[in-house]
Chain A
């Protein structure tokens, strides 16, 4: 079956621009996670959804980061007024144990 998909795969943004990153989890998976992975580092937890409820957003680095999953399936991570330090790969994962990851969106902020 289809795995986790993410779009776009690559995004170049000018500093100050808003971006929206999409995640399509595996069908039927209740749990959805967003991670941020800087170059040469392991993924770092951003936020967790169970269905449409955002149960944990403790990893979101600032109030410029916002995630939603309104119907309990597709999720969007939005970053407002992007900064250069936001450049990273943003990974989405579904299922609790183990987690199945998408290919990520590589964001470059110039």
Chain B
């Protein structure tokens, strides 16, 4: 079955630096991969989706890459700000289940220090 590993539970960086979060999966390569942000006491919020035929996707200060050979996605936040502090979740479709059935990683808690 598919498993997702997000490289670290916590990542602490200084304001202004680039945060890089890693998502590795173990089995089949999905047609797409998603990144969500979750703040304490709230539900996940969708950030970006990248498809298997896309190498890179950008949205403002966010960049996602997808390497199906390495079975890995990298999520970058450039010029990070304290407001970027949150848990970031990687998710991909569970092909053993129904359409929309997502498998999530445990998340990486990012702390951006001023």
Contact = CB atoms under 8 A, between A and B. Distances in A.
B44 A48 contact: no
Contacts of B91: 42
Residue among A31, A33, A98, A99 with max Cβ neighbours from chain B (10 Å) = A98
Majority secondary structure of chain A interface residues (helix, strand, loop or mixed):
loop
Contacts of A43: 44, 89, 102, 104
Contact of A40 (B43, B46, B106): B106
Interface string A66-110: 000000000000000000000000010100111111111000000
A103 B100 contact: no
Nearest to B49: A98
A11 B24 CA distance: 35
Nearest to B96: A58
B42 A103 contact: yes
B49 A45 contact: no
Interface size class, chain A:
20 to 34
A31 B105 CA distance: 22
Interface string A52-65: 00011011000000
Contacts of A103: 41-43
Interface of B: 4, 9, 32, 34, 36, 41-46, 49, 89, 91, 94, 97-107
25 contacts: A40-B9, A40-B106, A42-B4, A42-B91, A42-B105, A42-B107, A43-B44, A43-B102, A43-B104, A45-B94, A45-B97, A48-B99, A48-B101, A55-B98, A56-B101, A58-B101, A91-B43, A91-B44, A93-B43, A97-B49, A98-B49, A102-B43, A103-B42, A103-B43, A104-B41
Report, nearest first, the 7 A-B pairs whose CB atoms are least far apart: A101-B43, A42-B104, A56-B98, A98-B46, A96-B100, A101-B44, A43-B104
Given A45-B102, A104-B42, 16 more contacts: A40-B9, A41-B106, A42-B89, A42-B104, A43-B89, A43-B102, A48-B98, A56-B97, A56-B101, A58-B98, A59-B97, A91-B43, A98-B49, A100-B46, A103-B41, A103-B42
